[in-house]
Amino acid sequence: MINLPTLKDFDTFKQRIVQWYADGAPKSVKTTLILYFTIVIVLPLFLLGTITYTISSQTITNRVQSYVEQIIIKVKENIEYYFRDLQSLSYVISVNPDVITVLKDRNNLGGWKEIGYQNKIKSFLAGLTSTRAEVKGIYVLSDDLNRIYSSDPPVLIGYLQKQPWFRKIIHSEAGMVVTGVHSDNYSGSPMGMPGDVVTYAQRIVDLDTQKNLGWILIDLDYGFVPKMLENVQLWDQGQITILDESGRAVFGNPAMVNHFQLPNFRYLRLRDWGSYLQRVNGREELLVFQTVSLCNWKVIFSIPAAVLQRENIFIRNFTLLLAFILLGVAIYLAVLFTRKIAEPIHLLHASMHEVEKGNLNIHIKVRSMSEFNELAVSFNHMVEKIQTLMTDINDAEKKKQQAELNVLQAQINPHFLYNTLDSLRWLAKIRNVEEISDIISALENLLRASISKTDQLIPIGQELENVRNYIAIQLFRYGNGFAVIYDVNPQVSEYFTPKLILQPMVENAIYHGIEGLAQGEIKIHIDTVDENVVIEVSDNGKGIDSELAARIMAGKVESNQRFSGLGIKNVDERIKLNFGRDYGISISANDPKGTRVTIIIPRLRKFDKRKSPK
């Protein structure tokens, strides 16, 4: 038998050529390769550029941050040095004999005596104040706050006690306190022009008893901070801001002070040092800070992010320029490479289209890479095979037509056969041989049904009539050696069935079931179940094993006594061909003995198109 090539076979070969095309990808091989080459080059370039830019940006940021930290450390050291110097000054005051005397024995001093001590202390404090321009006033307070001695005009002690910064000092457990910026409106200066000051407070302790004797307060002019920064080389690209522990500016840009009043100051307050990026006044800035432990001030250096990014922008622009240049080179090289690869594919593709159109006189030559040579050779061999198969098909078709012609020429005319049998039947009647006449009539009807060219579907009633004719012939042959029982629902007669499906079942029951029995019995049961018609042919014969049933269903059991040559396998295939795989024949053991063959077909009326044969 010749295996005919189909378009599906050709499409399978075609898919070997274009299988690397993804669904939705460009249809042009050249375009696809250019795109792939470009991606292969651009992706590493993009990753390399991104990594380079990130590393360089981080390196520059770290370098600038390190430089800024050195500036902050220097400022911090200057502030700490200054306050340690104030500690020394406070110590000189705290060990002064006159100060110790008035603080320890003030209640035992007479009025004039106390005034004398007060004048001495005032002169002493005035002498210390005159040596430091930034010191606006020095005050000595008793522990009970009933006495205050100063270098300036009298201090309004009542007003002083109401100030939050002062209450913070007297309630502090520390020996030294540095306040934030506040007004000195508690002094009795005749000018009446208070200014902003920072107060340094130092506790006075009796060295013998370790009891608190009072406090030393030193008011520092707000402008003393810039003097602490005179020997610090600041970076003109950034700004220094110094905040006290409440967030007020001791030194710096007021705009920055407004920023640090925001909740971000909580972050600064909770940490002693650090850095972070923050938007300040509409621009991104890097903020680096450290804490002065002596006074709990924050020294902050702010740098615009744009300053940090200048070098990064140059690196970024250079990387982008290089990437665009390499992209152009990549596309140019991709075009050159893909042209050499794509041209053989285009040639092969065009040749395949020609074959699809029916042009088999085509032969391609590809002088390129070995893979394309192999594809071209395979394509040429396939075309040659198709040409050979087409020739074989034409020859086979001619032989088939000739054989059919020979059969037609040798075929006996059915009408001649019917007329001959009819003459024999009437001859038997004339001679009163009725039994022979009935058998000839049954044979005539059965032959007419088997070789008629009417529709393949016939009423079940007609199919039963054909079976009765067949059984009549077999009963004559076996001398009425078996009985047939019909159990048929009358309603099934109106349904249709493929013709000659029941006769092979009865034939199987006779030859493989009851043959050789003294009294065999065959039962034909037909009824409807749901939307199907169920036909059962059972016998009381010797039964059937699974091996024989499988051989019968496979068509491997033959008999030269079969009437139509249509075996059970053939009938099963016809049913499945007409109605689908859900229908067909099954063979099983009959209870209590024998064999049962079951046929299931759909309930089908003549004009029911839903399950009509395909």
DSSP string, 218-239: EEEETTHHHHHTTTS---TTSE
Write the CB contacts of 28 (distance below 8 Å, at least 6 apart in sequence). Answer: 342
Picking from 3-7, 462-466, 487-491, 546-550, which range would have the lowest pLDDT averaged per residue?
A: 3-7
What is the spatial distance between Cα 212 and Cα 215, in angstroms, rounded to a whole number?
8
pLDDT score recorded for residue 410: 45
Average pLDDT of the chain, as a whole number:
76
pLDDT score recorded for residue 533: 95
pLDDT band of 565, cuts 50, 70, 90: very low
What is the spatial distance between Cα 285 and Cα 304, in angstroms, rounded to a whole number?
4
pLDDT band of 484, cuts 50, 70, 90: very high
Domains 18-329 and 454-602 share a fold: no
- The Cα angle at residue 295 between residues 290 and 296, in degrees rounded to 5: 45
Share of the chain above pLDDT 70, in %: 76
pLDDT score recorded for residue 4: 39
The greatest distance separating any two alpha carbons of the chain, rounded to the nearest whole angstrom, comes to 184
Question: Is the predicted pLDDT of residue 119 greater than 90, yes or no?
Answer: no
Q: Are 73 and 290 in contact (CB under 8 A)?
A: yes
Which CATH number is associated with domain 18-329?
3.30.450.20
Question: Is the predicted pLDDT of residue 407 greater than 60, yes or no?
Answer: no
Picking from 124-128, 217-221, 563-567, which range would have the lowest pLDDT averaged per residue?
A: 563-567
What is the spatial distance between Cα 126 and Cα 68, in angstroms, rounded to a whole number?
40
DSSP sequence for 523-545: EEEEEEETTEEEEEEEE-SS---
pLDDT score recorded for residue 554: 78
Question: Is the predicted pLDDT of residue 551 greater than 50, yes or no?
Answer: yes
**pTM score, whole prediction:** 0.46
Question: Is the predicted pLDDT of residue 462 greater than 50, yes or no?
Answer: yes
Picking from 413-417, 496-500, 551-555, 596-600, which range would have the lowest pLDDT averaged per residue?
A: 413-417
Kindly state the tokens that stand for 318: 């250079």
Architecture of the domain whose range is 454-602: 2-Layer Sandwich (3.30)
Residues 128-146 have a mean pLDDT of 84
Kindly state the tokens that stand for 249: 């500016």
pLDDT band of 592, cuts 50, 70, 90: confident
Query: What is the residue whose two structure tokens read 């100030």?
Result: 163
pLDDT band of 3, cuts 50, 70, 90: very low
**What b/e string do you get for 278-315 counting C-beta neighbours within 10 Å, with b at 16 or more?**
bebeeeebbbbbbbbebbbbbbbbbbebeebbeebeeb
What is the spatial distance between Cα 279 and Cα 288, in angstroms, rounded to a whole number?
14
pLDDT score recorded for residue 402: 59
Query: What is the residue whose two structure tokens read 């005397």?
Result: 101
Question: Is the predicted pLDDT of residue 417 greater than 70, yes or no?
Answer: no
What is the spatial distance between Cα 486 and Cα 461, in angstroms, rounded to a whole number?
12
- The Cα angle at residue 252 between residues 250 and 257, in degrees rounded to 5: 80
pLDDT band of 258, cuts 50, 70, 90: low
Q: Are 37 and 334 in contact (CB under 8 A)?
A: yes
pLDDT band of 534, cuts 50, 70, 90: very high
Write the CB contacts of 73 (distance below 8 Å, at least 6 apart in sequence). Answer: 290
Render pLDDT for 44-86 as a digit per residue (tens, 0 to 9): 777 877 787 778 777 877 777 787 888 888 888 888 888 888 8
pLDDT band of 360, cuts 50, 70, 90: confident
Render pLDDT for 187-200 as a digit per residue (tens, 0 to 9): 655 444 567 888 88
pLDDT band of 100, cuts 50, 70, 90: confident
What is the spatial distance between Cα 397 and Cα 606, in angstroms, rounded to a whole number?
36
Q: For residue 28, give the amino acid letter.
A: S
Q: Are 229 and 283 in contact (CB under 8 A)?
A: no
Write the CB contacts of 130 (distance below 8 Å, at least 6 apart in sequence). Answer: none
pLDDT score recorded for residue 192: 42
Q: How far is CA 245 from CA 68, 177, 222, 271, in A?
A: 22, 11, 16, 12
pLDDT band of 599, cuts 50, 70, 90: very high
Instruction: Report the chain's C-alpha Rg in angstroms.
Output: 59
Residue 421 belongs to what H/E stretch? helix 414-430
Strand locations in 46-85, DSSP E? none
Upstream peptide bond of 459 is cis (omega within 30 degrees of 0): no
Question: Is the predicted pLDDT of residue 422 greater than 70, yes or no?
Answer: no
Render pLDDT for 339-351 as a digit per residue (tens, 0 to 9): 777 777 777 777 7
Domain residue extents for the chain: 18-329, 454-602
Residue 477 Cα to chain centre, angstroms = 78
Render pLDDT for 152-177 as a digit per residue (tens, 0 to 9): 666 777 778 888 888 888 888 888 88
